[in-house]
Structure 1
Amino acid sequence: MNLAIIPARGGSKRIPGKNAKLFAGKPLIAYSIEAALGSGNFDKVIVSTDSQEVADIAISYGADVPFMRPESLSGDYVGTGPVTKHAIEYCIQHFFEPTYCCCIYATAPFLTANFLSEGFQALKADPQKCFAFSATSFAFPIQRALRLEGTGVMPMYPEFINKRSQDLTEAYHDAGQFYWGQTAAFLQNKPMFCGHSTPVVLPRHLVQDIDTKEDWQRAELMYKAYVMEQANV
């Protein structure tokens, strides 16, 4: 049996009420809930929140909110690891013991059911893997990054600054959409970004952090363009 956990606290410093705020006509969290339910991979989709407003929205879109997140797990500096582990332990105590779990960010409007399914299949395909997570490539070679120094600039990696892009190893980063894992791996606090994890590589145009107002505006423009493109396919 499989469990989806969507962490979605009510507080947000840079974008107040971010998880409940309307994004292209729907609450932001609704996109993650719909992708999880649409994938058909989960026996239960839980939203972990400390906000009654977020809880009401989550329930209206078909997710379960079986508990309100404790205050000790609702602060600005609490990571998703402890929140995910708390939800898993609650599920084991009250419902069932999942074989696989997936932490899905509430701020992932580009997430699709297909990518969630791809991550699940990648995890199941290799018993040696503990996790499968969304990733994407950097748009520019990170080896040729610059840093500001005084009124000028200096290369971060001088040995690579004159290299051709095609001669440099392509770099990837966490896409911040989903993290599939064996239940035991989550409960044992195993690290995510190492050899026992496999990436599900997403196209860059379907990845956008939403941490600032500028991020939000950019994401909405990208989303609307993507929807229009899909409508014309």
Structure 2
Amino acid sequence: MKNYLVLIPARGGSQRLPGKNMRQLGDKPLLGHSITYALRNGLSDIVITSNDAAVLDFATQNDVQIVERPDVLAGSEEPVVTALQHAVNQLQKKYDAVILLQPTNPLRPEGLLKEAIAVFDREDCDSLMTVSRNEHKLGTISNHQFIPYNYEMGQRSQDLEPLFHENGLLYIFKTELLKQGKLLGAKNYPLIVDHPFAEIDIDTEADFIKAELYLKHFK
């Protein structure tokens, strides 16, 4: 059994939805859903990396380890990988793999994490990401003309070639991969998730309202 670390990055300074990581969703702040999810799945090595005082205080009050992220690693243009590298480098304990839970994906199917860990162990992956089937007819626009990309005009939606997108629910990757500045490796396993929660990724007020509705109706 691999030694897993759960990392939850929760920087301050969101421009589209200020203070979103501490905004109340149901009975707890957005951040609290990822913490609770990890604990419910038997994972106790949980670290929050943030430059937000309110986030760090909440984590501390809930007995979750924190790493204070330098502001230089918390800008809107800064990739999350640098914050994760910084957090791992601050820890005394060494881990085989990291589970990334993003606060902006607060709703996850109950058994998903255990399934993901089982697949990661069985397949000996470099990394694992969750994906969902795309059901849309996609195309490009050129010279004011719509050009179908993944279908032909008149084709039925159910006959589309299977295409998938990253849904952000969770990622798992070897710590050695993170040291190389990567989250996804050559041997990357796409775990398919077919659940309404995969539609929730909170960046805007409309996203938050949708999450409240899904939390209520898809227990």
Distance 2:139 2:14 in 1: 31
Partner of 1:186: 178
How many residues were matched structurally?
216
TM-score by length of 2: 0.89
TM-score by length of 1: 0.84
Tell whether the 8 Å contact from 1:4 to 1:36 is kept in structure 2 after alignment. yes
* One-letter amino acid of the counterpart of residue 172, structure 2: W
Residue identity over aligned pairs, in percent, reads 26
Distance 1:84 1:112 in 2: 24
Tell whether the 8 Å contact from 1:30 to 1:61 is kept in structure 2 after alignment. no
Distance 1:153 1:214 in 2: 30
* One-letter amino acid of the counterpart of residue 105, structure 2: A
* One-letter amino acid of the counterpart of residue 79, structure 1: P
* One-letter amino acid of the counterpart of residue 159, structure 2: D
Distance 2:24 2:123 in 1: 39
Cα RMSD (Å) of the superposition? 2.1
Partner of 1:74: 74
Superposed CA deviations along residues 152-174 of structure 1, whole A, max 9, x for unmatched, are 65133386233333433211111
Superposed CA deviations along residues 135-182 of structure 1, whole A, max 9, x for unmatched, are 111232xxx3244567x6513338623333343321111111211111
Distance 2:24 2:145 in 1: 40
Tell whether the 8 Å contact from 1:19 to 1:29 is kept in structure 2 after alignment. yes
Give matches, 1:25-64, under 5 Å. Answer: 25-40=27-42, 42-64=43-65
Distance 1:189 1:103 in 2: 14
Structure 1, 9-18 or 51-60: larger mean CA deviation: 51-60
Q: Give 1:196 shift.
A: 1.2
Q: Give 1:104 shift.
A: 1.0
Give matches, 1:1-233, under 5 Å. Answer: 1-40=3-42, 42-65=43-66, 67-91=67-91, 94=92, 96-112=93-109, 114-127=111-124, 129-140=125-136, 144-147=137-140, 153-157=145-149, 160-190=152-182, 192=184, 196-207=187-198, 208-227=200-219
Structure 1, 102-111 or 2-11: larger mean CA deviation: 102-111
Gaps of 5+ in 2: none
Q: Give 1:120 shift.
A: 1.1
Distance 1:168 1:61, change over 3 A: same
Superposed CA deviations along residues 99-146 of structure 1, whole A, max 9, x for unmatched, are 11111101222124521111111111112x211122111232xxx324
Structure 1, 113-122 or 209-218: larger mean CA deviation: 113-122
Distance 1:147 1:46, change over 3 A: same
Gaps of 5+ in 1: 228-233
